[in-house]
Amino acid sequence: MPPVVVNRGLFGEMFGTDEMRAIFSDRALVQRYLDVEAGLARAQARLGVIPDQAATAISAVAQVERVDFERLAARTEIVGYPILPLVEQLSDWPPDGLGQYCHWGATTQDIMDTADVLQLRDALALVDGELAAIGAALATLADKYAETPMAGRTHLQHALPISFGYKCATWLSAIDRHQARLQQLKPRLLVVQFSGAAGTLASLGKDGLAIQQALAEELGLAAPAITWHAIRDGFAETTGLLALIAGTIGKIGYDIMLMMQTELGEVLEPFVAGRGASSTMPQKRNPISSEIMLAAAKIVREQHALMLDALVQDHERATGPWHVEWHALPTAFIVASGGLRGAREALEELEVRPEAMAHNLGLTRGLIVAEAVMMGLAPRLGRQHAHDIVYACCRRALDGEHSFIDALLAEPDVAAVFQRAEIEALTDPANYLGAAPEMTRALLARRAP
């Protein structure tokens, strides 16, 4: 194996799952090539283009176990593509010379592109399953902590109180949109490629389009509106979706890492003995899953950039950009699967610490709800006067001269019209969550079956 992290080895499943690697393995890919060749034979037999017995014989032997991979690899290096060397082997397997009907009227890219589509269909099914599991975990967290106050942060500083459930619900909203995007992508992606040497189906005459439609039906795909040999937006859209998904997963991982900081301690990744340990610092519990989530976002983004570059192809068949896909597509899916696996590991058993959230809310002794106090004072004191009083009290509290509450009550205009209990209520972060719980519940209600 080459020393890259997407291969299972030293890094295990950190940068990809076994299930996703299996879909993009050499054996799985070659079997897909054979599936397309067999499907083509059956489609042509249905239309009387080749004999029925040829289609039956080809389908019976189109099994990856028969492939001489050493010979295939050697010939592929010489030819530059694996299909001609594979067809050379496949043509020898059926009895009575029926192998001569293999690959009838097809071109190499027809077989490879269609096999890729079949791979991506399976790969997207895995992605969809992971998104569903992550969505379920986030929905559980959002529901349980819909009214659990914590500090909302902007520019890494305390801003206003939010609830932890609301934070989870914002993550969840993106996951839901990604699942919708995945379904919307399928009609544009799951399309057969069968168009012949220059995309015109000329070698098959009047039967070309009928064979294309029949092949699509054999493989459970749609027929294209027109040839897409050098028009690759479907594949680029796919890596774009993966980049979006990985970006959201990276954002979630980044937030978890920040909340796991020793000074905050608001959440912790699930405890597994030895996970996140340091070689020199026994106290460490590092955010390993979240780190992979963030790394995956960066790696998948780069694969999408490659796919965007590969969109620019020459004439009716590319002289190089097509080859970029052979690296970028599998890498994007495998690394994305590692990020998704990390998200499931982190979120399904996430250790949430409301007491730490409450402690951090109180670090500024009420200053996080200065806006709430200003709006509470305004009806009795006037908005501008209330603003000026609160601003001055915030400065004194920040200087350590008084607590925020004591600074407010030391103001004669405030003490004249407010009791201490009223000021304490105004400075309680739990009373200033705004519509966060309501928005969280509404999102969850929309997801309900």
Residues taking part in catalysis: 155, 278
The span from the CA of 41 to the CA of 53, in Å, is 10
Both tokens of residue 355?
Answer: 């007491």
CB contact at 8 A, 191 and 223 = yes
* Exposed / middle / buried, residue 330 (Cβ in 10 Å: 0-12, 13-18, 19+): buried
Calculate the dihedral angle through the C-alpha atoms of 27, 28, 32, 35, rounding to the nearest 10 degrees.
80
Q: What are phi and psi of 136, to 5 degrees?
A: -65, -40
Q: What are phi and psi of 428, to 5 degrees?
A: -85, 115
The span from the CA of 269 to the CA of 285, in Å, is 9
The span from the CA of 327 to the CA of 116, in Å, is 12
